[in-house]
Structure 1
Amino acid sequence: MRGWDRGVKLLKYICFVLFLVRLSFAIETGSVATEMIIDDFDYETNLEIQKVWRGVQSEPPNVVKIIRHGYGLKSNAHFAQGIQRVSYDRDIELDLSMYGSFTLDIFLLEPWAFHAFTLYFKSGGGWFGCYSPMAKLGWQRLTFNKLEFQPEGNPDGWHNITGIRLSAWAAQKEDCQLVLDRLLARRSQIVIILPTIESGCQLNEVETAKKFAKTLSRMFATIGLLSDSVIDYSLSANLLMKHKYKFVVLPMNPRVSPELSIALKEFIVSGGKIFSIYKLDKDVAQLIGVKPTGWIQEKNDGQFAEIRFLGQRGFPKSVKQASWNITVAEPIGNQSHVVGIWCDSEGNPSNYPAMIVGKYGAFFSHVILNDDFAQKQQMLAAVVGYFFPSMHQMIAQHLIGNVMRVGHFTNRDKLERFIKKAGKIEAMKFLSRAKNIHENAVRNYGNGNITTAIEMAGKARSLLSQAYLFSQENLEVEGRAIWNHSGTGAYPGDWDRSAYELATAGFNMIFPNMLWAGLAHYASDILPRSWTFDHYGDQISQCVLAARKYGLEVHIWKVTWNLSNAPKSFLEKLRQENRLQKSKTNAEILWLCPSHQDNQKLEIDSLIEITNKYDIDGIHLDYIRYPSSDGCYCDNCRQAFIQSTNQKVKNWPTDVLKSGTTRKEFIAWRADQITKLVKAVSEKAKLIQPNLKVSAAVFNDYPYCVQSVGQDWVKWANLGYVDFLCPMNYTADNDHFSQMVQNHKNILPRNYPVYPGIGASASIFSLPIDQVAAQIHLTRQLGSAGFTIFDYSKDTSAILIPAISKSIGAQKPKIPR
């Protein structure tokens, strides 16, 4: 065995050297205007690198020669010893306020051993941190968008960076190595300017704008354009001109600061353009030639369901978008013109402009949502291309070059082999047409017909996507589940239609969200009844009746602890009884405190009520955790913790926070409060319905979720409290998705049923149909019992469900037992 071990180590060493030689040279640059090398790790000796970089609870870094250029930082990660991460710090003085993203090249030989990588920048009394998956064998480039960074502590600002921390997190208890190279800061030609309270905006407007700015940034990236983000304050306004931005995006800025208003006027004079979205500042409106005339909320469901473009070259014919309100605006004279109007769900046009463009900018009358992803890509490409032909050319290059990146393939030959091996006649037809159209796209690009080239690239990719879908297998045994967040199906008041649609598409399980901690969509005698119940009736009874008709299992989705939609009177009663969570600074959190026995009883009773009243197949627990590491530190938690553990706590909550004297004991006790509910629900519900299944939607980052939110789902599985799990593996990165599925398989009991969650329409991004199919394909390859898709709604029923119906769901399988 010793000789075999030495052979394995020698093989790993040879692979390590070979991979260092074979660096990935095809790393995207996008629309980068400026790059700054923060650290190229070009230190020739261990002594040199250790003078700059120091290990944090890790051994000192070493240098390693990289064939393509210079040296890199080599880290030995001793994860087998039980450490959770390896980290390296350095001191530095930087102003990163006008850089939008950062990249780091990293080499892994054992990617399965790593959970993720975090890049931190120290500023003042805190840090900015951003997480990135790292799931590929060999070299990869990690990208960290500034919009994704989260503050920890009290950072001063991006203008005052005083340190860097590089952290690689463990997924497996296995010793491994990594090499780091070239940490860069990047600035592009597109800048997203975020509103601030100081510029006159409300806190909810600031938070909403940041959310949709993330969506925009990711959409720009999918068409090959990088984007920066800065906040609206005098420094960024003064530097707007200096850094030669071409395109300013205002994601939802009802007001801009006086300094920025002046800067935008100068910006337009110098040739820059503005894209203002939804809420219009009056000065910005004047600059781009648009006059806001009001605001309107939809009067009926589906009033603003689609944007139809009026023959403007480059724009798609239409784009689906389920908007609920719009800003009403009109062109000012001949300064601008309408290129798109709103239509309802039946296709009837309105008189409300959706998109207005002019000489100096464009306006879109609602936030840009992540539905109808492919058409949104073309819409964004058209807006940018309308003003900047050079960027339009970049977009065309990117889209033509990525036509063959379909499903889980990045290589044309492998994609073709997959489709041909499946041997489906319809798929072969799609493949043949796609290849011809792709060749035409390349020819048109070469002839300078950029708009036509982009349109053809889109058509070719759409056909390849269909070929990929039609080439998927149909399994005889598989759990095909879908979450329904509304609790009404896709068609409120018509569960029969929803159940028929899902069954026809090959689904065999539905998880409808029927109750929260303080609200019920059914005839509850324990929780307040919702508006949905009042208007559409008992949703559980209607759902179960329809599901039985079409052979679907019903697993009632329960949002635990969270009171965000509870009636005010119900909340006030809980508040008076001191049953709400408190943060470490004693701020109220609108969640039930799990350590309060009355809250445990409320959660149990509401679920037992359902088990007694309805013939259901399962209970599905969600939010079965704390909201974050900031909860709960209420007085009841203090007393219960001390009584339960016999720990002495002199300073609450300091002693149980990070580096506190009783931190370890508190983390375990805190997780036990959540486990207590899971155990009680499982045992009591099965006394009533012995065949009932209990499941849970869980965070994907085990074991870190035990510390952060008290969610020990591996323990629940080991003790038999849950019958299957649905880790929320929401990612657009297929390698990361596979890594998570495999890691979960490794840490759970053998053959334990897992239905990985696929974020088809997650909050920040949505997945193209072929990528949903790809992640289903990967769950099958890795031996999962099935999959769970988020979310069943009117949007997904229009695009995703029909696509699955014709391919993966062409035949309905049996549910694993």
Structure 2
Amino acid sequence: MKLNHLLCLVISLGLLSCIQQSEASKTTNRNLSKLEQKKEADFKFWVWTGASKERSDSAYTAEYKKYSENGIDAVLINTNTDPGLLARLTPLAKQEGLEVHAWIMAMNRPGDSIALQHPDWYAVSREGNSTFDNRPYVDYYQWLCPTREESRNHVLGLVEELSKVEDIESVHLDYIRLPDIFLPVGLLPKYDLKQEEELAEFDFCYCEVCLSEFEKMHHKDPRKMENPALDIEWKQFRLNRIKDVVDDAYEIVHKNGKQLTAAVFPYPEMADHMVRQRWDKWKIDQVLPMIYHNFYNEELDWIGFATRQGVEDLSAKETKLHTGVFVPAMNGDQLKEAILQAKNNGAKGVSFFDGGALKPEHLEVIKAVN
């Protein structure tokens, strides 16, 4: 009799354990299924967001849950190139059904403890000033040279470390360019500037390595040109050096089973003109052009215009375009219009800058449009 009771107890405990495991499995599977559905969705919503070691896991879980429950599919996380922090946060975001992308400030490396030990790694202006200790526009502009082997390998090494983090979808390059030769027109009053031509103090990179490499190729010295802005080979040389970094990063991240994505200027011709960045020529999987209409004193329909320009420039490539929008400049109705402008002009999704700026009215719109 006691044996029968014991047998019943064992069976009951076994059944209870199976039920608990089944429920846990269902929860995990629901989140994984949600993630798979989002991967297959025709239109994706992304958000740029930051991170710090000091925040608790529960705080991150609450943040990621808020995004997921309101229709956002992917988070681009800036961990200040800390792969350990990224590895900690990735499963938390994935548990909420989100894709994870490792957001890195690439050529602009303010406060980089390794780079700061090498003053010669930094980009130099036509005036001869290095961003190591003479920074254009703002104090956090410390740009590395894309030509010098040591500086570019440092950036690529950071990319590789991030790309090795398990379960991320991509390494996301930001500031993958040279400093602004022209600021967006809406920002000029902030710096009390007029930029009607290429000014020497904002024209980079005139370091000894770039000048030497260019002279080997083209047998001329940009410092001796009457107007270097008119020399197409000199501009193309610098465009190509940025492209080289991107193309090498592409090979590295793909070797590690990840994609390469990037935050870029609104459309290729504009990026070429403003920051030495011609992203329609790159080897890259997805681009997120920052079409921040208010920076350029433009109306909301400019988001559609700039999106269409980029989509058409990428028409012969497999690279997908997702429009980036600046949330603080918009209320809920305006955000809805921005999303529709992007969607109706060929974007595959929209990315929001940034997570901290998303108010309840914005989240309601994102959820409803989705």
TM bucket by the smaller chain?
0.7 to 0.9
CA contact (8 A) 1:756 1:786 kept: yes
Does the C-alpha gap of structure 1 residues 723 and 808 become closer, same or farther in structure 2, counting only changes over 3 Å? same
Partner residue, 2:22 = none
Matched, 1:735 2:301: yes
Partner residue, 2:344 = 781
CA contact (8 A) 1:724 1:752 kept: yes
Does the C-alpha gap of structure 1 residues 478 and 704 become closer, same or farther in structure 2, counting only changes over 3 Å? closer
Deviation of 1:743 after TM superposition, in Å, equals: 1.7
SS of residue matched to 2:288: strand
Partner residue, 1:573 = 117
CA contact (8 A) 1:561 1:593 kept: yes
Matched, 1:621 2:173: yes
SS of residue matched to 1:564: coil
Partner residue, 1:604 = 156
CA contact (8 A) 2:253 2:259 kept: no
Partner residue, 2:101 = 555
Rounded Cα–Cα distance in structure 2 between residues aligned with 1:476 and 1:559:
28
Partner residue, 2:205 = 632
CA contact (8 A) 2:327 2:354 kept: yes
SS of residue matched to 1:705: helix
Does the C-alpha gap of structure 1 residues 627 and 779 become closer, same or farther in structure 2, counting only changes over 3 Å? same
Deviation of 1:489 after TM superposition, in Å, equals: 11
Is the radius of gyration larger for structure 1 or structure 2?
1
SS of residue matched to 1:614: coil
For residues 735-777 of structure 1, give each alpha carbon's deviation from its aligned partner in whole angstroms, at most 9, with x where no partner exists: 222211122222221675211111113xxxx222221111012
Which residue, out of 682, 690, 696, partners 2:250?
A: 682
CA contact (8 A) 2:107 2:143 kept: yes
Rounded Cα–Cα distance in structure 2 between residues aligned with 1:704 and 1:506:
31
Partner residue, 2:228 = 657
Deviation of 1:615 after TM superposition, in Å, equals: 2.4
The amino acid that maps onto 2:253 is A
For residues 128-149 of structure 1, give each alpha carbon's deviation from its aligned partner in whole angstroms, at most 9, with x where no partner exists: xxxxxxxxxxxxxxxxxxxxxx
The amino acid that maps onto 1:695 is T
Partner residue, 2:285 = 723
**Which is strand-richer, 1 or 2?**
1
For residues 367-396 of structure 1, give each alpha carbon's deviation from its aligned partner in whole angstroms, at most 9, with x where no partner exists: xxxxxxxxxxxxxxxxxxxxxxxxxxxxxx
SS of residue matched to 1:703: helix
SS of residue matched to 1:482: strand
Rounded Cα–Cα distance in structure 1 between residues aligned with 2:154 and 2:269:
28
Deviation of 1:807 after TM superposition, in Å, equals: 4.0
Partner residue, 2:220 = 648
Rounded Cα–Cα distance in structure 2 between residues aligned with 1:653 and 1:699:
30
Does the C-alpha gap of structure 1 residues 780 and 572 become closer, same or farther in structure 2, counting only changes over 3 Å? closer
Rounded Cα–Cα distance in structure 2 between residues aligned with 1:581 and 1:742:
33
Deviation of 1:605 after TM superposition, in Å, equals: 0.9
Map 1:14-163 → 2, pairs under 5 A: none
Partner residue, 1:51 = none
Rounded Cα–Cα distance in structure 2 between residues aligned with 1:562 and 1:745:
27
SS of residue matched to 1:658: helix
Deviation of 1:707 after TM superposition, in Å, equals: 4.1
Partner residue, 1:512 = 77
CA contact (8 A) 1:495 1:542 kept: no
Map 1:661-676 → 2, pairs under 5 A: 663-676=231-244
Partner residue, 1:745 = 311
Rounded Cα–Cα distance in structure 2 between residues aligned with 1:774 and 1:668:
37
Matched, 1:591 2:143: yes
Unaligned 5+ segments in structure 1 are 1-474, 524-537, 813-817
CA contact (8 A) 1:510 1:552 kept: yes
Deviation of 1:782 after TM superposition, in Å, equals: 2.0
Rounded Cα–Cα distance in structure 1 between residues aligned with 2:331 and 2:54:
19
Rounded Cα–Cα distance in structure 2 between residues aligned with 1:811 and 1:679:
35
Does the C-alpha gap of structure 1 residues 714 and 490 become closer, same or farther in structure 2, counting only changes over 3 Å? farther
Which residue, out of 662, 680, 702, partners 2:268?
A: 702
CA contact (8 A) 2:280 2:313 kept: yes
**Which is helix-richer, 1 or 2?**
2
Matched, 1:808 2:369: no
CA contact (8 A) 1:619 1:695 kept: yes
CA contact (8 A) 1:490 1:792 kept: no
Does the C-alpha gap of structure 1 residues 806 and 710 become closer, same or farther in structure 2, counting only changes over 3 Å? closer
CA contact (8 A) 2:229 2:235 kept: no
Rounded Cα–Cα distance in structure 1 between residues aligned with 2:265 and 2:128:
26
The amino acid that maps onto 2:285 is D
Rounded Cα–Cα distance in structure 1 between residues aligned with 2:53 and 2:284:
25
Deviation of 1:810 after TM superposition, in Å, equals: 4.8
Does the C-alpha gap of structure 1 residues 687 and 749 become closer, same or farther in structure 2, counting only changes over 3 Å? same
Deviation of 1:566 after TM superposition, in Å, equals: 2.9
Map 1:438-587 → 2, pairs under 5 A: 477-484=42-49, 486-488=50-52, 494-515=59-80, 520-523=81-84, 538=85, 540-567=86-113, 570-575=114-119, 578-587=120-129
SS of residue matched to 2:249: helix
Determine which structure has greater relative contact order: mean sequence separation of CA pairs < 8 Å that are 6+ residues apart, divided by chain length. Answer: 2
Map 1:1-400 → 2, pairs under 5 A: none
Rounded Cα–Cα distance in structure 1 between residues aligned with 2:116 and 2:260:
31
Rounded Cα–Cα distance in structure 2 between residues aligned with 1:587 and 1:492:
42
Q: TM-score of the superposition, structure 2-length normalised?
A: 0.73
Does the C-alpha gap of structure 1 residues 808 and 562 become closer, same or farther in structure 2, counting only changes over 3 Å? closer
Q: TM-score of the superposition, structure 1-length normalised?
A: 0.34
CA contact (8 A) 2:325 2:350 kept: yes
CA contact (8 A) 2:267 2:307 kept: no
Rounded Cα–Cα distance in structure 1 between residues aligned with 2:312 and 2:103:
27
Rounded Cα–Cα distance in structure 2 between residues aligned with 1:591 and 1:563:
6
CA contact (8 A) 1:482 1:509 kept: yes
The amino acid that maps onto 2:366 is I
Rounded Cα–Cα distance in structure 1 between residues aligned with 2:93 and 2:293:
30
Partner residue, 2:326 = 759
Rounded Cα–Cα distance in structure 1 between residues aligned with 2:224 and 2:236:
15
Deviation of 1:685 after TM superposition, in Å, equals: 1.4
Rounded Cα–Cα distance in structure 1 between residues aligned with 2:110 and 2:313:
33
For residues 32-69 of structure 1, give each alpha carbon's deviation from its aligned partner in whole angstroms, at most 9, with x where no partner exists: xxxxxxxxxxxxxxxxxxxxxxxxxxxxxxxxxxxxxx
The amino acid that maps onto 2:107 is W
CA contact (8 A) 1:489 1:498 kept: no
CA contact (8 A) 2:83 2:165 kept: no
Rounded Cα–Cα distance in structure 2 between residues aligned with 1:684 and 1:562:
20
Superposition misfits of 4+ residues, deviation over 6 angstroms: 489-492
Deviation of 1:482 after TM superposition, in Å, equals: 0.8
CA contact (8 A) 1:760 1:790 kept: yes
Partner residue, 2:136 = none
Does the C-alpha gap of structure 1 residues 549 and 657 become closer, same or farther in structure 2, counting only changes over 3 Å? same
Rounded Cα–Cα distance in structure 1 between residues aligned with 2:305 and 2:368:
28
